[in-house]
Amino acid sequence: MPPGEEECHKNGTSNPETGSKWINDFELLTMDEYLDQPDLVDSHGDASFTGVWDAAKELAEYLLTNTKTNTNTNTNTNIGSPTRILELGSGTGWLGITLARNGFGNNKSKDTSIIVLSDNPHNGAVQWTQRNLDAAKTVQQLPHLDNVQVVPLDWNDVAQIRHVAKMQPWDLIIGSDLIYTEEGCCALAKTMAELLNQQQQQSTTNNKCRILYAHSQGRMPELDVLWKQQLQLQGLTFQIVASKPQSWQNKDRTIIIGDIGLVS
């Protein structure tokens, strides 16, 4: 998939409609910088990870509005108080890095406070995530990124999925705009089920891991149908917790945020 021209914005900005006040100062590496690194440019043409997609912004807005976190108090509203967060298909890393800039994964009273960004190692994506994080830390010198890490995670690689599942007792798994091929759609649902099942098996407490996934519904309608089928097939529930209509070139789309869990 070529870099999207419409939903994909090189620099995420706070939502002007809601007048969000959260910190949004992470500057992405540019497309020119991507093209200057031939080792990263995917020969199959997938550069979808080089920009920030609209669903990522909606998920940031949702998380930052519904959870109050700062380094002293972790006030629970709706989302709970996630301190161990895993992001799937991070791309530029904008979502996870922005969450970290706003206090997530940085709870000094908890030594396990962490945000892990993950992406595919086979198309240059996870390398791009890492380079963006490195630039945020060293070039931009943004604070509060010490607890942000990057790991390779290909949804077709069972060993990688199990490794990541065991890294932490995750509180929250997030992802945005990850569905744009049939193969990826099936692999993603399977990965989510595997991660949640592993969390359930490993859990010694009542701490329940949840997945929040932001999806652009209507962009590829046939994949919307397949996604629902795959969730069911993998024994997953999808409860919409937020939705926002979007219009692009007179085509109706809705960004939906779904809370994904195991069928009980």
Residue 123 binds ligand SAM (CB under 6 A): yes
- Determine, following the binding rule CB under 6 A, whether residue 56 of this chain makes contact with ligand SAM: yes
Indicate whether 120 belongs to the interface with ligand SAM (CB under 6 A). yes
> 260: which strand partners?
211, 238
* Minimum distance, C-beta of residue 68 to ligand SAM, in the bound complex (Å): 24
Query: Which position among 53, 62, 104, 227 is part of the footprint of ligand SAM (CB under 6 A)?
Result: 53
- Residue closer to ligand SAM (CB basis): 162 or 208: 162
Give the separation between CA 238 and CA 210, rounded to whole angstroms: 11
Interaction of residue 186 with ligand SAM, rule CB under 6 A: no
Piece of 71-79, 96-104, 116-124, 247-255 that binds ligand SAM (CB under 6 A) = 116-124
Binding status of residue 49 toward ligand SAM by CB under 6 A: yes
| Binding residue (CB under 6 A) for ligand SAM from 91, 103, 105, 258 | 91
Rule CB under 6 A: say whether 156 interacts with ligand SAM: yes
* Candidate residues 48, 74, 83, 132; the one interacting with ligand SAM per rule CB under 6 A: 48
| Residue 173 within binding range of ligand SAM, rule CB under 6 A | no
**Residue 53 C-beta: closest distance to ligand SAM, Å:** 4
Contact residues for ligand SAM, defined by CB under 6 A: 48-49, 52-53, 55-56, 89-91, 119-120, 123, 125, 153-156, 176-178, 180, 184, 187
